[in-house]
Amino acid sequence: MRVLRIAAEGARSLGANKLRTFFMMAGTIVGIAALTVIMAIGEGTEKRVMKRVTSFGTHAIMVTAGGGKGFSPPQEGITTLRLDDAEAIRTQVSGIGIVSPFAIRRGMSLKAGAQQIQATVMAVEPDWHDAWEWYATEGDPIASEDMATMARVVVIGTTVVRELFGQQSPRGETLQIANIRFRVKGVLESRGTSPMGDDFDRRVIIPLTTGLRRVFNQDHITNIRVKVRNTRQLVPIADQIRQLLHERHHITPPQEDDFAIFSAAEVAKMARGISGTLTLLLSALAGLSLIVGGVVLMNILLISVGERTKEIGLRRALGATRRDVFLQFLTESLTVTFVGMLAGAGLGWAAGIALARLTPLSPVLSWQPLALAVAFALLVGTLFGVQPARRAARLHPVEALR
């Protein structure tokens, strides 16, 4: 009961000077709100990225022309991958289900009637659909006959459909790619955006032979997608592919590879690393805000001790112990930070909901930021409230009443 009375006295003291109390909890409010939003955005970003990474395929390995350690599209003009490399992987590496080479060119001009846009053009083999598990929802996919005859046919994404043809069915319509006329054969199912932020549906696919000879005018490919039968064999098969390409490209250490190999596990690891680093950095900034708020809290409490010297002396004269005075000021500190934590968490949740509705971000609100906020509030309130409480408790009653 005595502790409750002391807490009530501290609350009354805070209520008597509302503006000062607000300034004391302002830093905590801002820090906790920032921490809540940052953690929500971090968790939401990781979930969104990991969801999109699964579209890469858990059974898939990607071989990309050009070296490097980052998962990025190959630069134009890199000619280090050939169709012969894909055929060698298909015939010499065990445990493989599908080997699908393709060439890709970004930002190509597409025109239909009076409408013109830019999109990604991919020249693929028929098994590309099975390799990516990405099929035509309307019309027909790329077929072997299209490859054999270098047919000028195209299967287009839903974004391309919407921007070039509007609401009408594009099947059988004419589409120009780099001033070459193609007949729309089908429409790809929608896939949304890629882990790199690209619009998956702003792309079209054409037969590989047509693309290499008629559109791109090249004899090299940019990627080889390999689909394995057993996910447990991803790493051994990737090692086999790397060794085979080393032999074919005459690469010996310490020469750098002129290709890069990725699997879904590696892409996911990179995505987690990027998301984790960003969240850690932003959390550190939020923590710094909390520390600054704690310093402000401590200084205002020290000023309050100086202004309330007579009150402290009177309480001591009426029988309050040093422990009672210490607990009162520490309670005030904890109350300020705790109320600030509640206000900051509420503000953070409101900001998270607003971001989810008004921006492309997808913050995930959970109990974890709230638990962390409680811990931070108690820590800041205790660390920065002890010194003012000790100073108040050490005041001599007689000297304080003078």
Q: Is the pLDDT of residue 163 over 70?
A: yes
**117, 118, 204, 317 from 106: Cα distances, Å:** 12, 8, 10, 82
Quickly state the pLDDT bin for 111 (edges 50, 70, 90): very high
Domain boundary among 257, 281, 316: 257
Would you state the torsion angle of the CA atoms of residues 332, 336, 342, 347, taken in this order, to the nearest 10 degrees?
Answer: 170
Cα–Cα dist 242/244, whole Å: 5
- Helix crossing, 264-307 with 309-317: angle to 10°? 70
| Same structural domain, 253 and 370 | no
pLDDT over 90 at 270, yes or no: no
The dihedrals phi and psi of 116, each to the nearest 5 degrees, come to -140, 135
- Same-domain check for residues 133 and 186: yes
What digits encode the pLDDT tens for the residues 357-369?
A: 777 666 776 677 6
Residue 269 has what pLDDT?
A: 66
- Statement: residue 1 has pLDDT above 50: no
Residue count (the chain): 402
- Listed residue (241, 264, 220) closest to 101, CA to CA: 220
Is 382:301 a contact under the CB 8 Å cutoff?
Answer: no
Residues 85 and 43 in one domain: no
Q: Tell whether 276 and 141 lie within a shared domain.
A: no
* 123-162-105 Cα angle (round to 5): 25
Over range 285-299, report the average pLDDT: 73
Q: Are residues 316 and 346 in the same domain?
A: yes
| Residue 91, in any domain of the structure | yes
Residue 41 lies in a domain: yes
Please tell me whether residue 262 adopts helix, strand or coil conformation.
Answer: strand
d(CA 367, CA 113): 54
Whether residue 34 is predicted with pLDDT greater than 80 in this model: the reply is: no
Do 139 and 44 fall into the same domain?
no
Tokens, residue 158? 């839903």
Considering the domain architecture, whether residues 215 and 359 belong to the same structural domain is answered as no
57 DSSP 8-state letter: -
**Angle at CA 144, nearest 5°, toward 138 and 149?**
105
- Outline where 233-263 has alpha helix (H): 234-249
> What is the overall mean pLDDT for the chain?
80
If one counts every other C-beta atom within 10 angstroms of the C-beta of residue 322, the result is: 15
Residues 121 and 234 placed together within one structural domain of the fold:
yes
- Read off the pLDDT band of 16 (50, 70, 90): low
| Residue 352 pLDDT level (bands cut at 50, 70, 90) | confident
Q: How confident is the model at residue 328 (pLDDT cuts 50, 70, 90)?
A: confident
Domain boundary among 231, 257, 283: 257
From the CB of residue 161, how many other CB atoms can be counted at a distance below 10 Å? 24
Q: What's the domain count of the chain?
A: 2
Q: Give residue 128's pLDDT band: very low, low, confident or very high (50, 70, 90).
A: very high
Dist CA 90 CA 202 (whole Å)? 30
Residue 186 three-state SS: strand
Do 172 and 34 lie in one domain? The reply is no
**Residue 231 pLDDT:** 79
Q: Is residue 298 assigned to a domain?
A: yes
* pLDDT score recorded for residue 343: 83
User: Is a pLDDT exceeding 60 seen at residue 150?
Assistant: yes
pLDDT band at 157 (very low <50, low <70, confident <90, very high): very high
- The answer on 385 and 280 residing in a single domain is yes
Q: Decide the pairing of beta strands 180-188 and 96-112.
A: unpaired
Boundaries of domain holding 212? 81-257
Which of 227, 257, 287 marks a domain boundary? 257
